[in-house]
Structure 1
Amino acid sequence: GIGEFMGFSPIVSGTGLIGWEFLNRTREKQQAAFAQSPSIARDSTQFAEQIQGVQTSEQLMDNHTLLRVALGAFGLDEDVNNRAFIKQVLDSDLTDGASLANRLADKRYLRLAEAFNFAGSDGPKIGGAGIESELIAKLDNLSSAEDLLLDRKLLRATLAGFGLDTNLSNAYFLQQVLESDLADPASFANRLSDKRYVELARTFDFHSKSQAGDDLYGFSRTFTDRLADLETAEDLLDDPDLLDSALRIFGLEKDFANLDRPDFLLNVLNSDPYDGNSFATQLEDKRYLALSNAFGFGDSGTETSKAEKLISRLNARTDTVEQVSDLFNDIGLTLAVMDFFNLPQGEGKITLARRIVGADRSDPNALINVYPDRRYHAFANAFDFKEKSDTRSYSQGFVAAIVGSYHDRQFENEIGESDTNMRIALSMERDLSLLVDRGGSGDTQWFSVMASAPLRSVFETAFGLPSSFGALDVDQQLVVFKDRSERMFGTDRVADFADPDMLDQLRRRFLLISDQNSAQSLSSGGGVVLALLSGAAG
C-alpha cells in the first residue's frame, strides 16, 4: 500500500461494524500519526509555505507538490498528470454555465475551480467547496492565540496545515509561538530551529493584532455584551478592561496615564456634552468631549448612547470594513462613526473626513499628520484599513482547509487499500453533505446519489438491491430508491440522511449488510471448492 512510502500506515481491526467501531475510536490518533508521515508532512508544509506565491493557474500547475495537495484535497489525485484538462477546469468561468467545470457531471471539479477561483475577481474562497465553511470562517476571524487554542478542532486543522500535529496538547508552547514578535530576532518563534513555527506565527500574526486591538472591532468585541450594564460613569471606571478599551479608541490611554487628578475622568464622563459650560466641553482636547458624548452618562435625555448605536450598526454588517471605500460607501455606518467621535457632519465634513482617513501616513505633510483636531486621528485609527492589492492572497482558513481535506482524503485512500467499504464509510458524511448543500429538488438529489459511485454503493447495499439494479431505467431506479428509503428509514428525502442520527443508521446498515454479503460470498466460494475437491476425490 501507499503507506509503505509514507511512514505510518493506518490500521483497521476487523470488518463491518466491528472494524468501524475500532476505526472510529482510534481515528483521531491514527490521523495525527498519519499526518506526520514524511511525505504527507512535507507536502503539507510546502503548500502552507508556497501557496501565497501562486497567482495564476499556470503557477499552480508548475508546482507539482502544490498541485498534488490541491487535487488531493478534492479526491482528484488521479488527475495530477492530466495537465491540459485540469488547467481548463481551473480557468473555467464559473459565471458561464457552458464552461468546462460547470458542465462536468463530477462536481469535484467544480468545487476545485470554485475554491481557487482563478477566473473570478474576488480571489480564492472555500465556502461551499466541500470543506467545512464554519471552520474557515472561524479561522479567518480569530483575534487572539487564546481563541485558537481553546478550539481543539480548529487547532488540529491548523497544526495539520503545517505538519505540526504532535504539538496539539502543548498549549503553553504554542501560545509562545503564536504570540511571537517576528520583527524581534530574539522572539520565541525566531529562536526555534524548526522554521515551520515562524510560518505558523506569521500566518496568524497575533502579535500585530494585539497591537492593533484598539480599533472599533476590538472596542465592539469588548463592549457588545456589557454595555447595557453600564448605568453610571462609576460602572465604567470600576471595570479596568472596559475603561482601557474606551480610552484607547479615542487615543487617550497615554494622556490619562500621566494625569494625577483622580476625579478628572469622572468629571469628563459625567459632563453633559450639550452644555457649553460642562467640564468636558471646556477642555482644549476635544477627544474628551467625544468620550463623554459616546457614553452619554451626563446626558439625561438620551436612552440609547452613541456607543450602542455604533456597535449595533457595526454588528449588523455581514462583511468586515477593510478598505476606506468600505466605510464611506456605507453612509449609515459613516455617520454613526462620525457621531461616535463627535465630529461635525455639515456640508463638506464627510469629504474632509474621507480625505483625512485616506491620506498617506508615511508623508509627514499629509492631512492626517497635520490636522490639529485629534478626533479625526482617532477616527482614522478606528479601522485597520488595508492597502488595495491585485495580488491574490490565501487566508489561513483556506490553507488549513485545503491541507486538512488533503489529510482526510489521503487517510481514506490508505484505509481503502485494505477495506474499500471502510473508506466509503469514512467519506459518507462529507459526500452526503456536499450533495445536500448543492440544493435541488428531492428527485434531483436522488439522481446525484445515482451518479456518485460511493453513495450509490451505500444506498444499494443498505436497500438490499442486486448488482444488476443499475441496468434499470433511471426513472425506475428513482422509484425503487424512494420506496425502499421510505420503508426502511421512514423518509424518501436524501437531505434527511445528512442528520447525524440518520447518517449513522445508514452507515451501520451499509457496513452490516456489506459484511454479511462478503461472508456469504466466502462461504459460497468455500462450498464450490469443497464440491470440486469432493469430485476430484471421487
Structure 2
Amino acid sequence: MVSTYLSYDLVNRDLQASLKRVAKQSDVSREAAYYKENISKVTSVDDLLGDYRLYSYAMKAFGLEDMTYAKAFMRKVLESDLSDDNSFANKLTDHRYRDFATAFNFSSEEKAAQSSTQVDAMVGLYTSTMVSQGNAVTTETNYFNAMMGEIGSVDDLLNNDRLRSYLFTSYGVSDSYYSRSFLRGVLSSDTGDSASYINQTLGPERDALNAQVADAQTRLAAATTTAEKTKINTEISGYESKLSGLQTYYDMADAFNFKADGTTPAGGAQTAVQKETINDLYLSRQTRVSTATAINEADYFKEKMASVDNVSDIIADRRLYNFIKTSYGLSGINVVSSTIEQILTSDLNDPNSYANRFGKSNPAYLQLAKDFGFKTDGTVTAGAAQTATQQAATVNRYYSTYNDVQDTADEKAAALYKAAISGITSVDEFMGKSDVLDFALKAVGLDPDKVSKFTVRQALMSNLNDPDSYIYKLKDDRYLTLAKAFNFNTKGDVTVPLTAQAQGTITSVAAEYTIKMTRFLADDKKTAAKTAASAEVKYYSTQMQTIQTASDFIKDDRLVNVLLTSYDVDPKSVTKDFLKQVFASDLNDPKSFVNKQTNSVWAEILGTFNFDSSGKLTAARETGAQSTGKILETQNKYTRQTLEQEQGESNAGVRLALYFERLSHSITSAYDILGDTALLEFFRVSYQLPDSFSNLDVDKQAALVKKYMNLEDLKDPEKVSKMVDKFTVMYDVQNSDASSSALSILTGSGSDGGISADLLYSLSQSR
C-alpha cells in the first residue's frame, strides 16, 4: 500500500496540475459550465435556492455539502448584513457560513439614483464648477482686455470665438442667430455720422418707432377710459422694447473706434473708458459674483468715492450702495437706504446718535459709521468721505464678504439636493424636480436654461457600455459626466451603483483583512491591531466607492495592501508592474497574463473588479449575484473539494492533509481547530493523542493545542508543509502498515533503518 506521505506528496507536489486534472473530468467540467452559465441569471436568494444544481454546487464548494438540505437556515445566512457584526452569518462560529455569504451580493447591493459617495462627488463637482466659472470670468475679462490692444480690424474681433462670445454676452446678443455682415457694419459705424452703416440701416426704423411712440403718447393723453389707456400703454411698451433692441446695436457701435472699412485706427480699437464699459456689462450679466466682478466693483467704489460730497451720492448710486451693504454684511430685510443714511450721518460723540444707539446689538452699524467721515447733514468735502486707511478697510471687508450670500445659497442648494435625491426612483422623477435637476446640470457645467430636457433624459438612459448609444453621439463630455454620476438603466429605473467592486466584495475584503491583521494576537495587542485595521478598512470601503480606473487603484498603496492581505498575499512580494499586467489581462483569454499564473488567486482578484482590460470602469463585468471573481473562486473551491473527496476515497489521511493545508490560513485560534472535526483529527493524530482527548474540558483542550502546536507557524507556508509531512507519517503509524515505508522516506533506508520507540515518541511530540 502506498504511504499517506507519498500519496499526499504526489498530489501536492504540483497541486495546480492535480486541480486541472480534476477540473477536466467530465462531471466536474459539466457542473462548472452549468454554474458559470446560470449563476449570472440569479438575482435573488429565491433564484439560487430554487435551482438545486446551482445551490448544491455552491454549497459543496464552500464545504457545506452536508447542510444542503437546510434551505431555511441558509436563507438566513445569505440574507445577513455582513457589515453588521451581529447579523446571523457573522454570529455563527463556523466561518464557512460567513465565507459562503460573502460570495454573493444579495444583502449588500441597494438600488439608488446615487450612492452616498456619488452624492458627495456631485456636491463637490458643483462647488468646483462654480469656482471654475468664477475663474473663467476673470480669465475671459483679462483675455478680452489684452487682445483688444492687439487686433487690427473688426474681422479679427469677429473671427475670434472668445472675443466674440465676450462681446455678445456683454450686450445680450445670441451667438446662434446673428448676421456677420450686419454686425461688421454696425461695429464699423460712427453713430454721429448720418451716412454711417448703422444710421442708414437702423436709423429709419428707429425714427419710425420714435414717431409711433410720440403718436401713442398723444393718444394716451387724450384717452378717457381705463381700458383705452391700458391698450395704449401696452402699445407703447412694445415700441420701447423694439427701440431698446435697436439701442443695443448703437451702444455696441459706440464701444469701438473701428474705421468705416473695419480697420483699427492708430489710437486703437477702444479707449480705456470703452473697454471698461464692456467689462461692466459682461460682469453684470454673470449670475454669480466672481473675483473679477469683486475687483471691478472695488475699483468702481474707489473711483467714485473720490468725488462723493454727500451721503445722497451713495444712496443714489446702486453700485456704491450695494458695495457698502455687502462690505458690512447689511443684507437683512430691515436694512433699507434710510438705515444706511442714518448710520453714515451719525455723530459718534453723541450717545443718542443712530449708530451709537443700535451699534451694541449691530456692531457693523458702528463700524460703518467709523469708516466714513460724513457730517450729520450728510455733507463732506469732495474726496474726503474716507481716509486711505478707512477706504482700504472697507474694500478689504468687501473682498471678505462679497460671496457670503452666494456661498450660503450654495450650501442650501446642496442640502436640498442631498435630501431630495435619496427619494428619486426613476429618470422621470429626477426630471420632474427642477431644483435637483438644475443643481446636477450646473455641477457638470450645463446651463439649465439652454439645454434640452429630451437630450438630458436620453443621456441619462444611455447604455454607457454601448459605443453606439445616444450619449456618445452627443460628443459632449458634460453629458457623459452627468450620466456616469447616476444609476439609471435604459428604461429609466434606478439600479445598483457601479463601483470598482461590488459592495459585497468590499465588505468581504474588509472582514478578511481585519481577521488577518488580528490573527493569534493577545488581547491587549489584538485591540490595538483591530483599531488600526478598522481605520484601513474604513479607508478601503470609502475609497473603493470613488475609484474609476485600475490605475487609480494600483497607485494607492493603502488599498492594494488591504486587498492583497485579505487574499493571503504579501503586499511586499508584489510589484506595481505585476499588478498592471494583472489588471490589463482578459479573463476570457486563457493565454492572458493572469490566466498563466500558477496561483489562481490573481484571476479571482481581477474578477472582483468592474474594470475592462484597458482599466476603465465598466458594467460589463457585473454578473448579478456574484462577481466574475467570486464565480471563479466558487469553481476553484468546488474543484478543490472534489480533489479532496477523491483522494479520501483511497486514503482518508491524504484528504485530512489536504484539508488542513487548505484551511491553515483561516485558523485564528485553538478553538477553530477544536470546533472542526477534521482539523481536530489532524491535530490528534499529529501528536498521537488518544480518542479520549475530546472528553477533556474544552479550555484544557485549547491549552494543549497551544502547547503542542505553535499557531503562529500557520502564517508560514514552509512550517505548514512540515506539519502536514509530520501528520502523514503519524497517520500511517496509527492507521496502517505503510508506516515503515513512510518513515523510511523521511529517515533513509537500509539494514540499519529500524525505528526505535524513543524516535517515534520524539516525532509525535515535535513541532
The TM-score with structure 1 as length reference comes to 0.45
Larger Rg: 2
